[in-house]
Amino acid sequence: MRLLVLGGTVFVSHAVAAAAVARGHRVTCAARGVSGSVPVGAELVRVDRDQPDGLEPLDGRTFDAVVDVESLSFTRVRRALAALGPGAGHWTYVSTSSVYADNETPGQRAGAAPLLDPAPDGADETDRGQYGPLKVACENAVRSAVGERAFVCRPGLIVGPGDWSDRFGYWPARVSLGGRFLAPGRAENEVQYVDVRDCAAWIVTAAEQGLVGTLDAMCPAVRWGDWLTDLSTAVGSAGEPVWVQQDFLVEHGVEPWMGPGSLPMWLPIPEYAGFMTRDVSESLTAGLRIRPLQDTAAASLAWERELGLDRERRSGITREREAELLRLWADRSGPATPSC
């Protein structure tokens, strides 16, 4: 298969190109080539999607399949569809589970869940605050141009080697250090994500098999308590989680989900009870394969060590801040009342 990856120099698109090369496909990556390199065995064609005619270096070329990972800009997505859509046998657009309007209801399926309204033409296509609406507009552009040949893949949190967001990696990194560690909310809350290599493998399979439609890409939801236990086993640590109520975290200024000073991947319940509890049975039937946590944890920890465990993190709290919060939590809980 001749596969074009619009991107290929970082994280998701790099993993897609690498998976396709490993399966023996002829892979072309189209990017500026400034964020990193394309995988060994892939060709790089330098393009600039910011320019109206920026895809000209691909003129006259057709591909059996195209994968577009464009993050926000429906203008870029439309330009790529206009230039390459007519000659493409199959088109994958990497969207996101942030397109959904209802984050509260657990167990929703891709086909049935309501979406945010699309960003209108003229919207600021660099506004990360409008991520969901912009992605809906990108999806719509794909469907209206190549809908009968399109796979719209909606990943949840994408994790693993090459992830610069520091979200998932916080946990294997912290758990590997052992001791009592701060765990957010309740052990029975759930968590959901996808290993970048599983997401990439599925995208290549979708292109090989001509999968069409719109599906989520994430592992089945797992309880935080079980997940942290398995994570401890995977990284060979005997750490002990201390479950701290979400109200306490909010009161003490701990941010949810991401960013400096956050507890990554923690989301307030019930407001976000549906965000990481999506029903992915259709995706699993359609070829998504999820590797064991063991593998994802080991690869994420190796990536964390490469970045440096004591670096300033984009997401997560420091050991000092964690110790302070645990101390305050213990004080607030108070000693057990003696009985007589």
Ligand X SMILES: NC(=O)c1ccc[n+]([C@@H]2O[C@H](COP(=O)([O-])OP(=O)(O)OC[C@H]3O[C@@H](n4cnc5c(N)ncnc54)[C@H](OP(=O)(O)O)[C@@H]3O)[C@@H](O)[C@H]2O)c1
Please identify which residue in 3, 31, 58, 142 interacts with ligand X, judged by CB under 6 A.
Answer: 31
Least Å from the CB of residue 154 to ligand X: 7
Q: Give, as ranges, the residues between 137 and 156 that touch ligand X (CB under 6 A).
A: 155
Among 34, 40, 112, 238, binds ligand X (CB under 6 A): 34
Q: Does 161 bind ligand X (CB under 6 A)?
A: no
Question: x/- contact string, 48-87, with ligand X (CB under 6 A)?
Answer: xxx------------------xxx----------------
Q: Pick from 17, 94, 244, 301 the residue near ligand X by CB under 6 A.
A: 94
Q: Is 166 left (phi over 0), alpha (psi -120 to 50) or beta?
A: left
Sites for ligand X among residues 185-214 (CB under 6 A): none
Q: Name which of 29, 79, 28, 71 is nearest 50 in CA terms.
A: 79
Write out the two tokens for 70.
């464009």
- DSSP per-residue string spanning 242-270: EEE-HHHHHHTTPEEESSBTEEET---TT
List, in sequence order, every beta strand (DSSP E) within the chain.
2-6, 26-31, 43-46, 63-68, 88-94, 150-155, 158-159, 180-184, 190-191, 194-195, 213-217, 222-223, 240-244, 255-257, 262-264
- Of 125 and 322, which CB lies nearer to ligand X in the complex structure? 125
**Phi, psi (deg, nearest 5) at residue 190:** -115, 160
Report the residue number, 8 or 169, with the smaller CB distance to ligand X: 8
Decide whether 181 or 275 has the Cβ nearer to ligand X.
275
Structure tokens at 215: 């599906």
- Backbone φ, ψ for residue 85 (5° rounding): -60, -50
Q: How far is the CB of 264 from ligand X (least distance, A)?
A: 11
Question: Given candidates 7, 39, 118, 241, which one binds ligand X under the rule CB under 6 A?
Answer: 7
List interacting residues with ligand X (CB under 6 A): 7-13, 31-35, 47-50, 69-71, 94, 96, 155, 157-158, 165
